[in-house]
Amino acid sequence: MADLKARLAELEQACVNPRARLEHYLSQGKKVVGCFAVYTPEELVHASGMIPMGIWGAQTEVKLAKRFLPAFACPIMQSSLELGLRDSYRGLSAVLIPTLCDTFRCISQDWRFGVKDIPMIPVTYPQNRKIAAAEDFLISEFDTVLSRLSILTGNMMTDDALENSIRVYNEHSEVMAQFCETANGHLDIITPTVRHAVMKSAFFYEKSEHTAIVREIIEGLNELPRHQFKGRRVILSGITAEPTELLKILEENNIAVVGDDLAQETRQYRTLIPAKGGTPIRRLAKQWMNRKACCLAHEDFKQRGEMLVEMAQAKKATGVLYCLMKFCDPEEYDYPICRSALQDAGIPILLLEIDQQSTSCEQARTRIQSFADMI
C-alpha cells in the first residue's frame, strides 16, 4: 500500500510541476520537444531519440497572448501561448502544433512570430479520411516533420526506431486501458482527481517510464480487495475536465468517474497503431484514419453519441458530464448529437462549461449538486 500511494503521489506531483520533469530530462542531456494537444505524433519525436512532452496550458492570467489572440480563443491555446511568450517553456528544442481547428491554425503562426527561441513544427491532418490520398498526404506531412526533427538531432529517424516506438506507445495505450478497468474496482482510492493525475501525467514522462509506473499501480490495486462503491458513477466527455477543483467537487458529492471520452485522457489511447499494413510510418498514418467518435476528426455520420451510450451502459454509469471547453466550436457542434442519443437512452447528461482560467467553480458546484440529486 505504501508503494501504491508513493507511485500515485509521484504522478500527481508531475502534473503539479511539469517543469521539474522537463529539467529532469534536460539534466540527462536529452532534447525535449513540446507537443501541443491533441494527437500530436509523439512517436516521431520518440523514434528520433528525443522526449515528447505535452503542452496543455495552465491556470494563469493571460496578458501577453492578448496581443495575438481574441478573447474568444480556446483557453488552452491562450494559456499555452502565454507561457511560451513568458519563456516558461525554456529548454524545449521545438514544439509540434497539430492544425486541427481554426485556433490551432492561428496559434501556429502566432507562435512562429512571438516565440522566436523555440522553433515551431506544424502538423496538418487531413479531414477527408476515406480516400487513399489522405493517407499519402499524412505520410508526406510526417516526412516533413521528420526532416525538421533531424535538424535538431543531426540524424534521420530509422524504420527500426519507429517500429520500436510504435511498440512502446501501443503497450502504453493497452496499460492505460487496463488501469481504467482496474481503477473501477477501487473507487475509494482512485478518486476523480487521482484518476485524472494518472492519465495526465503520461504527457510528462517518456512513455515506457510511465508504463512501468502504471503497471506498479495496477499491481498494487490488484493486491487489495475490491471496493463496493455506493455513490454515483459518471462518464466524462469533452476536451479536458480541468481545473482539478472541478473534480474535487465530484468527490464532495460522492461521484466517481468510471470512464471518459476526454481528449486529454482515454481518447488518446483507445485507437492503437495497426500492427500490420505497410511501413511503420504508413501504419502511424492509419491510426489517424481509424480514429472515431472525436469532434476533431471528421465523420460523415457522428458516432460519438452512440459510443457514450454504450460506454455508460457498460460501466453502469448513472450519468454523463459533458465538459464543454469554452469557445470550442467542434465540441459545441457535437453536444446536441450526444445529448439526443443519451436522452433517448434514458441517461442523464449535464453540460458544464470548462474554462481553464476560471478562478471560481461555484456555479459548477451548484449544478453538480443538483445533478447528483437527479442521478
Q: Nearest Cα to 76, choosing from 264, 345, 351, 306? A: 264
Q: Reply yes or no on whether the pLDDT at 1 is more than 80.
A: no
Q: Is residue 30 part of a domain?
A: yes
Q: Reply yes or no on whether the pLDDT at 375 is more than 90.
A: no
C-alpha torsion sign, points 63, 96, 72, 109: positive
**Cα separation, 41 vs 286, whole angstroms:** 12
What pLDDT, on a 0 to 100 scale, did the predictor assign at position 101?
Answer: 86
Q: What is the mean pLDDT of residues 134-147?
A: 97
Q: Reply yes or no on whether the pLDDT at 35 is more than 90.
A: yes
- By CB atoms closer than 10 A (0-12, 13-18, 19+), residue 164 is middle
C-alpha cell at 185: 474496482
- Asked if 142 contacts 43 with a C-beta cutoff of 8 angstroms, the reply is no
Q: Is residue 365 part of a domain?
A: no
Q: Is residue 330 part of a domain?
A: no
**Cα separation, 153 vs 240, whole angstroms:** 33
Q: Reply yes or no on whether the pLDDT at 27 is more than 90.
A: yes
Question: Could you report the per-residue pLDDT of 92-108, keeping only the tens digit for each?
Answer: 999 999 998 888 888 98
Q: Is residue 127 part of a domain?
A: yes
Question: Could you report the per-residue pLDDT of 100-131, keeping only the tens digit for each?
Answer: 888 888 898 999 999 999 999 999 999 999 89
Q: Is residue 143 part of a domain?
A: yes
Q: Is residue 175 part of a domain?
A: no
Q: Nearest Cα to 356, choosing from 143, 36, 80? A: 80
In the chain, how many domains are there?
1
Q: How is 270-320 classified by DSSP, letter by letter? A: SSPPPSSSSSHHHHHHHHHHH--S-TTS--SS--HHHHHHHHHHHTT-SEE
pTM of this structure: 0.95
What's the CATH number where 54 sits?
3.40.50.11890
Percent of the chain with pLDDT over 70: 99
Which structural domain, as residue segments, surrounds residue 30? 23-157
Which one is predicted more confidently, 374 or 309?
309
Q: Is residue 248 part of a domain?
A: no
Question: Could you report the per-residue pLDDT of 230-279, keeping only the tens digit for each?
Answer: 999 999 999 999 989 999 999 999 999 999 999 999 999 999 999 999 99
Q: Reply yes or no on whether the pLDDT at 225 is more than 80.
A: yes
> How far is it between the farthest Cα atoms of the chain?
59
Q: What angle do CA 210, 269, 257 make, to 5 degrees?
A: 85
**Cα separation, 338 vs 343, whole angstroms:** 9
Question: Could you report the per-residue pLDDT of 186-210, keeping only the tens digit for each?
Answer: 999 999 999 999 999 999 999 999 9
What pLDDT, on a 0 to 100 scale, did the predictor assign at position 71?
Answer: 85
C-alpha cell at 254: 460522492
Q: Is residue 196 part of a domain?
A: no
**Cα separation, 280 vs 294, whole angstroms:** 24
